[in-house]
Amino acid sequence: MHYKIKNINVLGTTITIDSNLDGSRSLIVPPQSSIDMNFSCFGTEPLGWAFNISSDSDAFIVTWQLFSTWVPGDPENIL
């Protein structure tokens, strides 16, 4: 799973993403900048990902996109 996060605020912010399959990632996102976060787990797709997104910042204004290698309708991968 690949997150692309863009801070659209004029202030920097922090972001933490916790996943059930690949731990936690925390980063500082400078003002008007983008970052990438990648999560991976060995197994057959589709996997049951769950994410919790949080911030310690008072001014948290971001946009995000989530990309995956699995497309609905694709058959399950067989190991």
pTM above 0.95, yes or no: no
Residue matched to tokens 């008007």: 32
C-alpha to C-alpha distance for 26 and 18, rounded to whole angstroms: 9
The length of the chain, given as a count of residues: 79
Q: Tell me, what's the pLDDT at 64?
A: 95
Confidence tier at 72 by pLDDT (50, 70, 90) = confident
Q: Tell me, what's the pLDDT at 25?
A: 96
Q: Is the peptide bond before 46 cis (omega within 30 degrees of 0)?
A: yes
- Looking at beta carbons, which pairs linking 30-35 to residues 24 or more positions away fall under 8 Å? 31/7, 32/7, 32/8, 33/6, 33/7, 34/4, 34/5, 34/6, 34/7, 35/4, 35/5
